[in-house]
Amino acid sequence: MSDEQAQPVFQIQRVYLKDLSLEQPNSPQILVEQGQPAVEVNLGVEVQPVADGIFEVAVSATVTTRLGDRTLFLCEAKEAGIFEIRHIPEDQIQPILGIACPGIVYPYLRAVVADVITRAGFPPVHLAEVNFQAMFEAQQSQQGNALAN
């Protein structure tokens, strides 16, 4: 069967926790302090080719919670997926890798972050829903602007 006749393939090979870290640098003293902590969340998406038609897509989150100028806790997590993508037009592969794949991996990341923070003795931090299409389009726009300069 030639590539023109081949059926498109988009399969999840596996989803897995790639990296996880939790730090409480100012414990136990900061745990007895009162106040409303400030929470900062940073997200990232990375795509790596693994083999022909096989890609790893990783979504990472860094959650930093501060009480005043001191860190209460810092949680870094990276959830990844291995995806097989074959016989799909070249112009559709990047949107699949930048929108569909992170959308599949992200709920797992949200669960891991909430669970590890709860296990550390804090109220869970529930990461907000993410519009990966808007994130992808903004990234494409930034890359386009960088190439134009």
As its CATH architecture, domain 9-139 has Roll (3.10)
Report the pLDDT averaged over residues 79-100. 95
pLDDT band at 45 (very low <50, low <70, confident <90, very high): very high
Q: What is the pLDDT of residue 1?
A: 47
Look at 124 and 2; give whichever has higher pLDDT. 124
Query: Which stretch, 60-64, 89-93, 133-137, has highest mean pLDDT?
Result: 60-64
Distance of alpha carbon 26 from the chain centroid: 27
Q: Where are the domains of the chain?
A: 9-139
The count of other CB atoms within 10 Å of the CB of residue 113 is: 24
Q: What are 93-145's pLDDT values in tens digits? A: 999 999 999 999 999 999 999 999 999 999 889 999 999 999 999 888 887 77
Q: What are 17-44's pLDDT values in tens digits? A: 999 999 999 999 988 888 899 999 999 9
Q: What is the pLDDT of residue 143?
A: 78
> SS3 letters for 129-146?
CCCHHHHHHHHHHHHHHH
Mean pLDDT over all residues of the chain? Answer: 92
Q: What is the pLDDT of residue 4?
A: 54
Q: What is the pLDDT of residue 139?
A: 85
Q: What is the separation, in whole angstroms, between the first and last Cα of the chain? A: 44
